[in-house]
Amino acid sequence: MKNTFGNHLSITLFGESHGPYIGAVLDGLAPGITIDHVLIRHMLTLRRPAGKTGTARVEEDRYEIVSGVYQGKTTGTPLCILIENTKQNSADYDKEGRVIRPGHADYTAYCKYHGFEDYHGGGHFSGRITAALVAAGAIASGALRDKNITIGTHILSLQGIRDRSFEDIPADIAYINEQTFPVFHPAAAEAMEQEILSAAQRGDSVGGTLESAVYGMEAGVGEPWFDSVESLLSHALFSIPAVKGVQFGLGFDGEQYYGSEYNDPIRCDGEGVYTTTNHNGGIGGGITNGMPIIFRTAVKPTPSVFVKQDSIDIDRMENTSVQIRGRHDPAIIHRARVVVDSVTALVLYDLLSGRFGTDYFMP
């Protein structure tokens, strides 16, 4: 299914960037989960552009849950969230006609939908749709939090500027989830923001690498082979616009290690089994081992740049050039972080429901 993902908990996304509404349908939620509007609003705020590093299209993200909730709790039937689009400005795009924007889904959407697609602002492929993903992810995050499972993501590197990795994972997750610009080291945060601003002054954009941690997942969750924790998380992560790479544990850095160094030594104490390193990122054979799940996500530079680029007019089938107008972030990585947290929450909710049953999240 093109717009639906998940087994025991499924999410369907709908809407276009410049249509009246975007939204999500969650099917498979346990009955009785309290809808935490503070958390939903907080996560939507983290996704919204802010400050000098954000686009001028700042939507209020007013959402409405139109089904699946009664007296503040989930009923267990499909839950539909609607988010109104209020700041669309299609004139920015009409001026461009059918000139394809490099780095966007304009050409591929045209090939698939034969020109019937609403291309304004990227239509169904727009980063705007991630607001619905985050609202849905916030509901899953709230349910996971009630099971003492927390998720956090920071910018690990951007244009060669590097933040420190996770250290005290539960404290780091709590800290980073309060930051609109998610970087641990203040000097690294400052340098990254400067880099984004300087790219913006040149009409350009930057990307970077996110690092995520999940704390509190017990051992034994996940399926062998095709529904491994890595497979499902990657599937969901690659659905996020602008994500171009995912690695678990040491991932691609593993080539520098010998097997004797890469293996995580196993110990046990009164509390249970643990490993003294976590090079495998908390996953063995696709199944959680009880250590924190650690992964990285590569986010490409925002495709809408204001410098002139070669492209084509698809209606005339002529070579031309394009200079993007409209409102765009010089970097989206600091906003993408909460989208990463959201899809992670949805996948873990799904896997836990598969392991322990769909009523697992009932209070």
Ligand X SMILES: Cc1cc2nc3c(=O)[nH]c(=O)nc-3n(C[C@H](O)[C@H](O)[C@H](O)COP(=O)(O)O)c2cc1C
How open is the CA angle 332-158-178, to the nearest 5 degrees? 60
Considering beta carbons, is residue 287 or 298 the nearer one to ligand X? 298
Considering beta carbons, is residue 8 or 47 the nearer one to ligand X? 47
The least CB distance from residue 270 to ligand X, in Å, is 43
The least CB distance from residue 328 to ligand X, in Å, is 4
The least CB distance from residue 206 to ligand X, in Å, is 12
The least CB distance from residue 42 to ligand X, in Å, is 16
Cα separation, 324 vs 102, in Å, equals: 10
Considering beta carbons, is residue 31 or 245 the nearer one to ligand X? 245
Considering beta carbons, is residue 69 or 333 the nearer one to ligand X? 333
Cα separation, 321 vs 121, in Å, equals: 18
Residue nearest to ligand X (CB): 127
Residue pair 229/221 in contact (Cβ under 8 Å)? The answer is yes
Residue pair 311/328 in contact (Cβ under 8 Å)? The answer is no
Considering beta carbons, is residue 163 or 329 the nearer one to ligand X? 329
The least CB distance from residue 2 to ligand X, in Å, is 15
User: Which residues of this protein are in contact with ligand X, per CB under 6 A?
Assistant: 47, 55, 104-105, 122, 125-127, 130, 240-242, 300, 302-304, 328-329, 332, 335-336, 339
The least CB distance from residue 344 to ligand X, in Å, is 14
Q: What is the dihedral of CA 304, 308, 311, 317, to 10 degrees?
A: 120
Place of tokens 């873990």: 348
The CA-atom distances, in angstroms, between 64 and each of 17, 27, 31, 41, 136 are 17, 17, 19, 12, 12
Q: What is the dihedral of CA 46, 47, 48, 53, to 10 degrees?
A: 80
Considering beta carbons, is residue 85 or 126 the nearer one to ligand X? 126
Considering beta carbons, is residue 8 or 18 the nearer one to ligand X? 18
Dihedral of CA 264/268/271/276: which sign? negative
Secondary structure class of 309 (helix, strand, coil): strand
The least CB distance from residue 105 to ligand X, in Å, is 5
User: What's the Rg (C-alpha) of the chain?
Assistant: 21
